[in-house]
């Protein structure tokens, strides 16, 4: 397959930015929908093992999110660098950025896999996993950690393609992996009686398949505009430093969210272990609600990067306004649907009356934060596309460390309020930080236009 002409695609993006936003966003959204369906199906399968299995999985989530947060943050840094290079019509720099991204992925695979395999049980115990859940939690973690390198490389391949404006092919490839995962889950969990470890193995095999498809398409079939020539590769800190400077603050943001997830698990387990399971179920549905926003924000990073590189500030400001309006509209509609349908959705995941009651209460509270989250995510991704990731880090630290976690601890351990006040703490934090992020982004865009 011959590389496509990205210069003509950039011209098309400039000519029709709103249509281009949906052209990029819909494939990303499709891929995320498929992934979310998997997450939901996976939760249903794990829930059929036992309520302890759901709780054990919940204690894995902060660690999994820690690793995913690190690689997704750096991946968006690669997306921004490649998009800006294409906006400047600098293909050699785009090629170099892609090659350095893969090198970074190999390095991170080793850095994350080795500690996870060697000290997994100690890490799980350190984040507060109860002794009675530790064997189940470690059964999942040891398998997942051993194969996480495939996920890391797959994410970086997708980030490279997103930077050049190709979101359709990654969506197709990731969907193949997700469908395979859904097929393998019941086979490994129930037919082969592997339990929660079978769920982890299904994920590892599907990610290995996805990674293999990307390698074949980009290295051998030459699918992408950027080209990979290992024999001509020349390492330079300049490009790697740019990727890290843009991406690492975003990674730290997601790591902070991971730590925050662990803190909230610790807070909730003091109410009841079922509260952790309920939070896990609700969080999966949260992701479904903000899925359109994440897809729009991911595509916005590409367009903002290209328009920033091409020095088109008015076009940049226009597409950001449009993206934010659409994001708020979508989250408001989904939030209303959740509020009405929560008692009917939650029982799909579990038959535990306590988990259902807590999860419904959580969902009906957190929906009030959805429109503000839309502003926050799109504002932070806009600044990242302009090469500024520090605001995202500051906003995340403020939300998790500065507001939500201490407020939740105040409500639960000092004032001894019921569990709903923990959800109130999350809403308050989301509202405050999203308003601050939006104001910060507006000042940056005004400065660019002046």
Distance CA 148, CA 130 (A): 24
Dist CA 157 CA 105 (whole Å): 9
Is residue 1 included in any domain, yes or no? no
Question: Considering its fold, how many domains does the chain have in total?
Answer: 1
The whole-angstrom separation of Cα 14 and Cα 303 is 9
Task: Compute CA distances 440 → 102, 276, 379, 389, 400, whole Å.
Answer: 32, 34, 8, 12, 18
Determine the number of helices (DSSP H) and then strands (DSSP E) in the chain: 16, 0
Q: What is the pTM of this model?
A: 0.70
Judge whether 378 lies within some domain: yes
What integer pLDDT is reported at residue 313 of this predicted model?
A: 84
Instruction: Return the closest-CA partner of residue 374 out of 261, 253, 286.
Output: 286
What residues make up the domain containing 172? Answer: 6-449
Count of CB atoms within 10 A of residue 194's CB?
17
Q: Would you state the pLDDT for residue 10?
A: 65
Residue 393: both structure tokens together = 């880090």
Give kind and range of the element (H or E) at residue 432.
helix 420-449
From 372, 344, 354, select the one nearest 279 (Cα to Cα): 354
Residue 444: inside a domain: yes
Of 287, 222, 266, nearest to 413 (Cα)? 266
- State residue 385's pLDDT score: 81
Question: Is 35 a domain residue?
Answer: yes
Tens place of pLDDT for every residue, the chain, 450 residues? Answer: 344 444 456 677 777 888 888 888 888 777 777 766 766 677 777 777 776 777 777 777 767 777 777 787 788 888 888 877 877 777 777 788 888 888 888 898 888 888 888 887 888 888 777 778 888 888 888 888 888 889 889 888 888 888 777 778 888 888 888 889 889 988 998 888 888 888 889 889 998 999 999 989 887 877 676 777 776 677 778 888 888 887 788 778 777 876 777 788 888 888 887 888 888 788 878 877 887 888 888 888 888 888 887 788 888 888 999 999 999 998 999 999 999 998 998 888 777 888 889 999 999 999 999 999 999 999 988 998 887 878 888 998 899 889 998 999 999 889 989 999 999 999 999 999 999 999 999 999 888 876
- The contacts of residue 120 (CB under 8 Å, 6+ apart) are 138, 141, 142, 145
Q: Name the nearest CA neighbour of 76 among 382, 410, 442, 333.
A: 382
Please check whether residue 234 lies inside any domain of the structure: yes
Angle at 142 between CA 140 and CA 148, to 5 degrees: 95
Distance from C-alpha of 294 to C-alpha of 25, rounded to nearest angstrom: 9
Question: What pLDDT is attached to residue 333?
Answer: 92
């Amino acid at each position: 397959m011959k590389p496509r002409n990205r210069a003509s695609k950039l011209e098309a993006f400039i000519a029709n930015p709103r249509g281009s936003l949906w052209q990029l966003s819909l494939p990303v959204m499709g891929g995320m929908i498929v992934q979310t369906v998997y997450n939901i199906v996976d939760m249903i399968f794990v829930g059929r093992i036992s309520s302890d299995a759901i709780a054990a999985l919940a204690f894995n989530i902060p660690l999994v999110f820690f690793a995913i947060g690190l690689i997704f943050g750096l991946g968006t840094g690669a997306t921004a660098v490649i998009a800006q290079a294409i906006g400047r019509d600098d293909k050699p720099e785009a090629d170099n950025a892609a090659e350095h991204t893969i090198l970074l992925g190999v390095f991170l695979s080793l850095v994350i896999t080795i500690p996870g395999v060697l000290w997994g049980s100690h890490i799980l115990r350190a984040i507060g996993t109860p002794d009675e859940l530790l064997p189940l939690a470690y059964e999942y973690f040891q398998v997942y950690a051993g194969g996480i390198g495939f996920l890391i490389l797959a994410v970086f391949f997708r980030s490279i393609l997103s930077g050049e404006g190709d979101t359709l092919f990654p969506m197709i490839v990731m969907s193949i992996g997700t469908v395979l995962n859904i097929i393998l889950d019941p086979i490994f969990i129930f037919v082969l009686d592997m339990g929660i470890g079978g769920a982890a193995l299904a994920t590892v095999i599907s990610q290995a398949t996805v990674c293999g498809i990307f390698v074949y398409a980009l290295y051998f079939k030459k699918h992408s505009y950027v080209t990979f020539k290992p024999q001509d590769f020349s390492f330079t800190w300049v490009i790697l430093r740019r990727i890290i400077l843009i991406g690492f603050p975003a990674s730290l943001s997601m790591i902070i969210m991971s730590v925050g997830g662990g803190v909230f698990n610790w807070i909730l387990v003091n109410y009841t272990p079922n509260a952790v399971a309920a939070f896990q179920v609700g969080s999966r549905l949260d992701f479904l609600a903000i899925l359109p926003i994440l897809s729009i924000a991911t595509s916005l990073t590409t367009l903002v990067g290209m328009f920033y590189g091409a020095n088109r500030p008015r076009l940049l400001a226009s597409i950001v306004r449009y993206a934010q309006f659409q994001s708020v509209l979508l989250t408001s509609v989904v939030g209303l649907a959740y509020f009405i349908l929560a008692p009917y959705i939650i029982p799909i995941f579990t038959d535990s009356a306590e988990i259902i009651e807590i999860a419904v209460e959580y969902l009906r509270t957190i929906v009030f934060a959805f429109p503000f989250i839309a502003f926050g995510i799109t504002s932070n991704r806009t600044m990242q596309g302009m090469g500024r990731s520090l605001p995202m880090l500051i906003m995340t630290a403020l939300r998790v460390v500065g507001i939500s976690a201490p407020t939740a601890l105040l409500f639960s351990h000092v004032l001894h309020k019921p569990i709903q006040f923990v959800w109130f703490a999350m809403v308050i934090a989301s509202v405050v930080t999203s308003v601050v992020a939006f104001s910060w982004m507006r000042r940056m865009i005004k400065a660019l236009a002046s």
